[in-house]
């Protein structure tokens, strides 16, 4: 179980956003209404942990009732889990009561644990633990739902699909162009999870290619990509086949990244020298040659294995490299 976010119930969302924006020195990167809970959510990034501001949209909302009873303040702690049903079964057997619209007690065997969970914010399936079992603190367990991330914008083009995540009208965070290519599987790199962890910091444009040959014209002229024109972002390529489309786009497109990170766990060296005047980093799980011109980060294989939590080591590498540019 990994701390995913901290939920805070607020009465006036504008005042709360102002307060936490001044505290954290950034604005919400995502605003979402959860109709089933009658709540508006505003997510802010706090250097590794999300802060979720929760505001009621009606007097029937659980947030309104919470504030009426207890006032503004901490509403819940949310933990990310790999398997919601397995976690529910484990916690129920350990004596915790589970709430997901109804209470599933430790002696209730009428429901299958496979059905536990309901839709929450940020594309998650969630359930709660009864606060009387956790010393008065409401605990949320969440996992990415099958529907996955919800892009702000999307477009299908001849060579693949463009999806835009993160950012908002209030906070136009830096652009990041993420390239993956179907010609080389990248499932082990957990693309969806990487996007979910990076979108608080970057405006992520994910270009998932059907093949290695990129149709540059369709990418350059696409409305979704209009916000990435100019300089100042990052290019992130996952897998060897995504490296060459990255070069093609930089050659034909006026997106000139300040930083380029190429991740390939199975190759000891990147396929070509780094472009001039662009800070580059090559991430691999193998030892590498010293004469390639790229700085190299060699992570253990476990760090890019989706079955082992240390895959989170990738995210600090990305963020630290960006910070090293003075951004």
What would the pLDDT profile of 282-323 be if each residue is shown by its tens digit?
998 888 765 667 888 888 877 777 666 566 677 778 877 877
Closest by Cα among 127, 134, 131 to 113: 127
Q: Can you give the residue ranges of every domain in the chain?
A: 2-144, 153-323
CATH no., domain 153-323: 3.40.50.1820
Judge if pTM exceeds 0.75: no
| Band (146; pLDDT cuts 50, 70, 90) | very low
Residue 102 confidence (pLDDT) above 90: no
Residue 197 confidence (pLDDT) above 50: yes
Report the percentage of the chain scoring pLDDT > 70.
Answer: 84
- pLDDT recorded at residue 87: 92
| Band (17; pLDDT cuts 50, 70, 90) | very high
Domain at 2-144, CATH homologous superfamily: 2,3-Dihydroxybiphenyl 1,2-Dioxygenase, domain 1 (3.10.180.10)
């Amino acid at each position: 179980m990994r701390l995913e976010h901290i939920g805070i119930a607020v009465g006036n969302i504008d005042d709360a956003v102002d307060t936490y924006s001044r505290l954290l020195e950034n604005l919400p990167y995502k605003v979402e209404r959860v109709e089933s809970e009658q709540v508006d959510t505003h997510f802010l990034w706090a250097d590794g942990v999300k802060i979720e501001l929760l505001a009621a949209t009606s007097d029937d909302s659980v947030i309104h009732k919470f504030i009426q009873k207890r006032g503004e303040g901490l509403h819940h702690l949310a933990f990310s889990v790999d398997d919601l049903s397995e976690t529910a079964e484990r916690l129920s057997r350990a004596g915790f009561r589970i709430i997901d619209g109804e209470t599933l007690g430790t002696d209730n065997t009428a429901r299958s644990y496979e059905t536990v969970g309901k839709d929450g914010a940020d594309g998650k399936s969630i359930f709660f633990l009864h606060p009387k079992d956790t010393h008065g603190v409401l605990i949320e367990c969440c996992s990415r739902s099958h529907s996955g991330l919800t892009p702000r914008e999307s477009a299908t083009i001849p060579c693949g699909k463009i999806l835009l995540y993160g950012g908002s009208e209030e906070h136009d965070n830096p652009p990041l162009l993420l390239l993956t290519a179907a010609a080389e599987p990248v499932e082990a790199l957990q693309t969806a999870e990487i996007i979910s962890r990076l979108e608080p910091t970057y405006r992520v444009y994910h270009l998932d290619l059907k093949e290695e040959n990129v149709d540059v014209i369709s990418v350059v002229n696409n409305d979704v990509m209009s916000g990435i024109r100019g300089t100042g972002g990052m290019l992130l390529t996952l897998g060897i086949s995504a490296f060459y489309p990255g070069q093609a786009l930089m050659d034909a497109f006026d997106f000139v990244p300040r930083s380029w990170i190429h991740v390939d766990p199975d190759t000891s060296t990147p396929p070509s020298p780094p472009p001039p005047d662009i800070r580059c980093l090559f991430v691999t799980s193998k030892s590498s040659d010293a004469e390639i011109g790229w700085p190299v980060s060699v992570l253990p294989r476990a760090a890019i294995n989706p079955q082992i939590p240390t895959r989170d080591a990738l995210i600090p590498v990305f963020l630290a490299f960006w910070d090293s540019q003075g951004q």
